[in-house]
Amino acid sequence: MSKIATDFGIDKALKSLGIQAINNGTSTGDHNFSSGEAIASYSPVDGALIAKVRTSSRDDYEKVMAAATEAFKTWRLKPAPQRGEIVRQFGDKLRMMKEPLGKLVSYEMGKSYQEGLGEVQEMIDICDFAVGLSRQLHGFTMHSERPGHRMYEQYHPLGAVGIISAFNFPVAVWAWNTALAWICGDVCVWKPSEKAPLCGVACQNIAAQVFKANGLPEGISCLVNGDYKVGELMTHDRRMALISATGSIRMGKIVAQAVAARLGKSLLELGGNNAIIVTPDADIKMTVIGAVFGAVGTAGQRCTSTRRLIIHESIYDKVKEAVVTAYHQLRIGNPLDQHNHVGPLIDTDAVAMYQKALEKVVAEGGKLVIEGGAMAGEGYESGCYVKPAIAEAQPHFEIVQHETFAPILYLLKYSGEVENAIAIQNGVVQGLSSAIMTNNLREAERFLSVAGSDCGIANVNIGTSGAEIGGAFGGEKETGGGRESGSDAWKVYMRRQTNTINYTTELPLAQGIKFDL
């Protein structure tokens, strides 16, 4: 292990999670179906090799699907509250493993340790939500137009749910899907990001312990590792009743086409190009806090990261100065050190993308207010660290229309009424998260109205980044239209059925048709 890993107890965390560091293969439970080539997981924190994980071949995938489909036959018959009890136990296990799993998330993905712990807490929270929901999977009863008939709707499990997750939230997004799918009676097959495979192994090990302790088939929770080829096996597989995919818009369009071709169901959580509107009536202090955290948290690698700050011309210079001052106070470095605010990007490819974006905005006529740039030297040996950058730009710039998964914030100016700012905000293909900073009730209500923000998430005096478990999470337009987590998002993991019961001795036919025998 590297010095950073040793100093911060990563070796102990891995051991407690059932992972052997720097190994040629990693077990994913009692039965390791993986026999493919090994993929190595390197930490963006210090560039060190953490461990290697075997990928899943086509034959391995078939074994996994056989286990999953067989387990579904048992799991779907358990009453939902009993399934909720299993999820409760899983949540308790997560409470016990919060510290080591949070450290692994931080070290393998690069987000701050506090964010790593927060991500595990999201897993715990969705388990709690799902446990309560397991006793509320309600249908509806409606009056029939025919005498002596009762009509109602109910929901049944779908079957196998395929989950394809991204590196930026390597455990929480899986849990958002899995906890709900489990209480709905589904089984889950998960392909974690190949950039953070150990987080997937750790979660699978924890889940496997719970299912084994309860004498349940391990096929209820399955893991397949690999690149896009494994994802293709999932998206084209008719046995996958639902594919939940999180990632780029480009990836989402490929998944959507493949699943639609077999008339399957998909839940897509794709890119975001999120904006905060700052009106003349905004609280500047709150604005700076929301904008800075939204732009640099997780090094700008959240789908809800703040990319655009749309500021009224009357306060533009004041807001710009306040944000720039705040940026000068940021500390960049080892995310396991809680004194630092910003950790690394996921890999050097992400750094190259960040640098191209900065070159692009200047080439289009923008001006760098905080120049940014890659960092080198002691503490930055991994080559994944960059400085958060700020650029003055125009809404129509191609690079501004594009989502760059890095800490780059574009300052945009608007004049006139708030409707002009809303038009700028809505003038991109993405539609995930949005926010307005104002103490003007009329402006806030316009922003939230039918003619306001076109995003799936719209906040007032709160930034774009972050979401509560109780609300449905997702976006519109090319963000995919999916909804995960709270509210009634559970319905996507079930199939809807309308039932009619005739408790008379007669059989009335529709439209008054007579058919006497």
Beta-sheet strand order (sheet of 306-312) = 367-370, 389-392, 408-414, 306-312, 274-278, 433-437, 457-460
Residue 303 annotated in active site: yes
CB-based contact 49:41 (threshold 8 Å): yes
From CA 363, how far away is CA 45, in angstroms rounded? 31
**Which amino acid type is present at position 510?**
A
Catalytic residue among 184, 188, 203, 303: 303
Q: What distances in angstroms separate CA 389 from CA 22, 69, 128, 278, 327, one per listed residue?
A: 35, 48, 38, 19, 9
The C-alpha R_g of the chain, in whole angstroms, comes to 25
Catalytic residue among 119, 122, 194, 269: 269
Residue 184 annotated in active site: no
From CA 103, how far away is CA 115, in angstroms rounded? 10
Element (H, E) at 153: strand 149-157
Which pair of tokens denotes residue 426?
A: 């809505």
**Which amino acid type is present at position 53?**
V
Nearest to 165 by CA among 280, 76, 243: 243
Tokens 């009762």, residue? 150
Q: Give the orientation angle of helix 197-213 with respect to helix 172-183, to 10 degrees.
A: 30
Element (H, E) at 94: helix 80-96
Q: How far is CA 18 from the centre of its chain?
A: 25
Nearest to 17 by CA among 206, 221, 218, 212: 206
DSSP code at position 417: S
512 φ/ψ angles, rounded to the nearest 5 degrees = 70, 20
CB-based contact 454:477 (threshold 8 Å): yes
DSSP 3-state helix, strand, coil percentages of the chain (rounded to 5)? 40, 20, 40
CB-based contact 271:226 (threshold 8 Å): no
CB-based contact 134:125 (threshold 8 Å): no
From CA 79, how far away is CA 124, in angstroms rounded? 22
**Which amino acid type is present at position 126?**
I
Q: What distances in angstroms separate CA 72 from CA 216, 218, 321, 387, 419, one per listed residue?
A: 11, 10, 58, 48, 51
**Which amino acid type is present at position 320?**
K
Enzyme catalytic residues? 269, 303
